[in-house]
Amino acid sequence: MEAILADEAAGVLDADSALLYRVRALTGDQQLPAPYAALPPGEDLTVLNEAAARFETLPPDMAAEIAPLVVRPTDPRSLFHGGMAPDGSHVRALALQAAGSAPDPATAQVACTADGWGRLASSAVPVVVWAHCAGGVGDAGLAAALRILEAL
C-alpha cells in the first residue's frame, strides 16, 4: 500500500488508479499490477471509506469493480446481496469469530424487509448491521455483530 501511495504522490499513478489498486491490494485481487502485488500487504483502514465517498465520481469501469465492496447490502451489486454463501455462514462466521464465542440472544427484534434483508441499528453509535434473512443469521447473530462494532 505504501508503494501505491508513494507512486500517487510522485505522479506515477493518478488518484483513481491509486484508489483502485489500494482496493485490489486490500482484497488480494490478482489484477493488482505485479510491482505492487509483490510487496507485503499493509493495513489500509481508510480505503473503503474513500472508495465509498468517491464512488459516484469514479470512471464507470472502476466504479463497477469497486461497487460490490461499497454499496449497501440490499443493492444487487453488493458482495453480500444474495450471499457468497447461500446459508449466510459467511456472516455468522464473521460475527462468531469477532465475538470469540456464541452470541447471546438479543432483546432487539429484527424485521425482514420485503427484499429479504434484516437490519439492526445501534442506539449507541451510528451503525446499522444488515444480514440476508434467508441466511439464518437471526437476531442473535445480528446483535453479536452490532456489539462488536459498538465496542470498537
Residue 79 belongs to some domain of the structure:
no
Residue 80 belongs to some domain of the structure:
no
What is the band of 95 on the pLDDT scale with cuts at 50, 70, 90? very low
Residue 82 belongs to some domain of the structure:
no
Same domain, 108 and 144: yes
Residue 115 belongs to some domain of the structure:
yes
Domain span including residue 57: 2-70
Same domain, 145 and 112: yes
Q: How many domains does the chain have?
A: 2
Same domain, 60 and 96: no
Same domain, 39 and 93: no
Residue 32 belongs to some domain of the structure:
yes
What phi and psi, each to the nearest 5 degrees, are found at residue 112? -80, 135
Same domain, 24 and 56: yes
What is the band of 34 on the pLDDT scale with cuts at 50, 70, 90? confident
Residue 111 belongs to some domain of the structure:
yes
Supply the pTM of this predicted model: 0.57
Q: Is the confidence at residue 14, as pLDDT, over 80?
A: yes
Residue 84 belongs to some domain of the structure:
no
Rounded CA separation 7/23 (Å): 15
Same domain, 64 and 98: no
Cβ contacts of 4 within 8 Å, gap of 6 or more? 13, 18, 21, 22, 25, 36
Same domain, 44 and 102: no
Q: Is the confidence at residue 105, as pLDDT, over 50?
A: no
Q: Is the confidence at residue 17, as pLDDT, over 60?
A: yes
Same domain, 62 and 7: yes
Rounded CA separation 92/95 (Å): 5
